[in-house]
Amino acid sequence: MYCKTITCARSGSETILLSVEADIRNGLPGFTVCGAVSQEMKESKERVRIALENAGFLMPPKRITVNLSPETKKNDRSSPDLAIALSVLSAYGYIPESFLNDIAVIGDLSLDGTVKPVKGVFSYACETEKSGIKRIIVPFENAAEAAICKGLTVYGVRSVKEAVFSLSGEKEPYERDEKAADELLSEKRPDIDLNDVPYALKSKKALYYAARAHVNVLLLGSEDACRKLCEAFGNHISEISNEEKIKYLKLKNTPDITENKDIEVHNGYVVIKSAMNSRKTDLGALYRALPEGCVTVACASPCPCGAYPDKSCICTGSRLKSHYAKLDKAVLENTAIYTHVGYGLSDILSVRESGNVFKRSPEIRKNTGRHESADVNTSLSEENKRTLERLFAGRPFSEREVMNTIKLAKVIAGTEESEVSAKHIEEAFSYCVFSIEKRAADEE
Ligand SMILES: [Zn+2]
């Protein structure tokens, strides 16, 4: 007898559907898994055979062949045990073949036949829903996660037997629980905000403006300092709707991101812990995949010795140059605000300004906050245009830098509830133009 079912796998940066075929016939008894699949998937045959026997299914000695397709790669991840088990049971005649139509099956098995929770169920459920399949069997513990995909009927099962009962209609589907879904989507706010970070006034301002303008930031500073700022930053990002949270959960569940400890996806913002040539993840693809309004904070060390732009930096101009050449192109192309973390003069003069200078984010943001570039030119006064001309005179610049400066000046003026003036444009300029100071070694 022959039977087929569907499961999912994470392959490279995407999630794919795998078809699991099982065939049982007379001949030399054995269990073979074929198809170009990873060793890990091939090993599941032993678990499946023992789990089925321990769960009480009699398996007369026959020749069992399981075929997984399409071809997967060496590092692909999947949890095909339960899908293989149900295909085999159906091929043995325990389950009518038609019961396995229009359903995806996810789950790993213990040797006693219990179904173990697995990682990445949300992305599997999304892919299943996208393909038009209407039902999914997942481990009991993962049911709430799968049920976030509203187009699916979800069965959460604890054992192979419960999976069989789900197919036969003897077990009810998982009842959607809005509260459980909210909990999965929401995120705990960090304990600190920018007011609690006792240094880097300029960088704190940069982050504060970025949260309001919904533009991306490049933080150049020590790992420690950057980490603390990024954590505090979370409190200045507005709360987002559940619909938007689902987009972030999808992003968090893409294989590339799950495997990469250097990238943190939060509701409303993303932290890239190293903006220097990233080998693990294509950052260009990441920026393109970001939900509308998402703010990214990319971090990088400021120079090989770590002290730049402080006078104590011992790096030569050429070392600085080759250091900055390592910055990922995608980060530079997508960044509007650059800032060096450290004790600048303004920090020393204003250590611990009294009161809470930086307001926490409002509860729900009204719109995505993207500023239309169309109104950028029209609403600038003659005086402001002259200020811009003065600042950009005699230096190479890009249109993007000019536009970002104007946008940011508007945001800065907005936080003071005043009209844009020269001082706002000057402040914005200091964030939006990336430059490293010329050093003696450069001139040689
Ligand atoms: Zn240095």
Q: Measure 441 CA to ligand 1 centroid, in angstroms.
A: 13
Q: Measure 303 CA to ligand 1 centroid, in angstroms.
A: 5
User: Which pLDDT value is given to residue 366?
Assistant: 45
Q: What is the mean pLDDT of residues 285-292?
A: 91
Q: How many CB atoms lie within 10 A of CB 363?
A: 7
434 vs 273, which has greater pLDDT? 273
Q: Measure 126 CA to ligand 1 centroid, in angstroms.
A: 47
pLDDT at 82 over 80: yes
Q: Measure 323 CA to ligand 1 centroid, in angstroms.
A: 10
pLDDT at 437 over 90: no
Q: Measure 308 CA to ligand 1 centroid, in angstroms.
A: 5
User: Which pLDDT value is given to residue 81?
Assistant: 93
pLDDT at 74 over 90: no
pLDDT at 365 over 50: no
Q: Where in the chain is the domain with CATH 3.30.230.10?
A: 2-183
Q: What is the mean pLDDT of residues 422-441?
A: 82
Q: Measure 339 CA to ligand 1 centroid, in angstroms.
A: 16
User: Which pLDDT value is given to residue 368?
Assistant: 40
pLDDT at 111 over 60: yes
d(CA 271, CA 296): 6
Q: How many CB atoms lie within 10 A of CB 161?
A: 17
Residue 19, helix vs strand vs coil: strand
Q: Measure 302 CA to ligand 1 centroid, in angstroms.
A: 7
Any idea what the Cα angle at residue 121 is, between residues 191 and 164, rounded to 5°?
A: 140
pTM of the predicted model, to two decimals? Answer: 0.80
User: Which pLDDT value is given to residue 26?
Assistant: 93
Q: Measure 221 CA to ligand 1 centroid, in angstroms.
A: 11
d(CA 15, CA 9): 6
Q: Report pLDDT digits (tens) over 157-212.
A: 999 999 999 999 999 999 988 888 888 898 888 899 998 888 888 899 999 999 98
pLDDT at 374 over 60: no
Encode burial over 300-314: b for 16+ CB neighbours within 10 A, e otherwise: bbbbeeeebeeeebe
User: Which pLDDT value is given to residue 349?
Assistant: 61
> In the predicted model, what is the mean pLDDT of the chain?
87
Q: Report pLDDT digits (tens) over 226-253.
A: 999 999 999 999 889 888 999 999 888 8
Q: Measure 234 CA to ligand 1 centroid, in angstroms.
A: 29
Q: Measure 342 CA to ligand 1 centroid, in angstroms.
A: 13
Any idea what the Cα angle at residue 222 is, between residues 218 and 226, rounded to 5°?
A: 50
Confirm if 141 and 162 have CB atoms less than 8 A apart.
Answer: no
Task: Work out the pLDDT band at 438, boundaries 50, 70, 90.
Answer: low
User: Which pLDDT value is given to residue 102?
Assistant: 93
Q: Measure 192 CA to ligand 1 centroid, in angstroms.
A: 29
User: Which pLDDT value is given to residue 116?
Assistant: 95
pLDDT at 84 over 50: yes
Asked if CATH classification 3.30.230.10 holds for the domain at 2-183, the reply, yes or no, is: yes
d(CA 174, CA 181): 13
Task: Work out the pLDDT band at 373, boundaries 50, 70, 90.
Answer: very low
pLDDT at 369 over 60: no
Q: What is the mean pLDDT of residues 71-86?
A: 83
Confirm if 440 and 317 have CB atoms less than 8 A apart.
Answer: yes
Q: Report pLDDT digits (tens) over 305-356.
A: 988 888 888 998 889 989 999 999 999 999 999 999 876 666 666 655 545 6
Confirm if 403 and 373 have CB atoms less than 8 A apart.
Answer: yes
- In whole angstroms, how far apart are CA 364 and each of 237, 239, 269, 361, 372? 10, 5, 15, 8, 21
Q: Measure 274 CA to ligand 1 centroid, in angstroms.
A: 17
Task: Work out the pLDDT band at 53, boundaries 50, 70, 90.
Answer: very high
- In whole angstroms, how far apart are CA 98 and each of 35, 93, 94, 163, 407? 24, 11, 12, 15, 59
User: Which pLDDT value is given to residue 267?
Assistant: 94
Q: Measure 1 CA to ligand 1 centroid, in angstroms.
A: 70
pLDDT at 43 over 90: no
Q: Measure 407 CA to ligand 1 centroid, in angstroms.
A: 32
User: Which pLDDT value is given to residue 377?
Assistant: 55
d(CA 428, CA 166): 60
Q: Measure 316 CA to ligand 1 centroid, in angstroms.
A: 8
Q: Measure 312 CA to ligand 1 centroid, in angstroms.
A: 8
Confirm if 302 and 327 have CB atoms less than 8 A apart.
Answer: no
Confirm if 406 and 376 have CB atoms less than 8 A apart.
Answer: yes
Q: Report pLDDT digits (tens) over 180-191.
A: 888 889 888 889
Residue 385, helix vs strand vs coil: helix
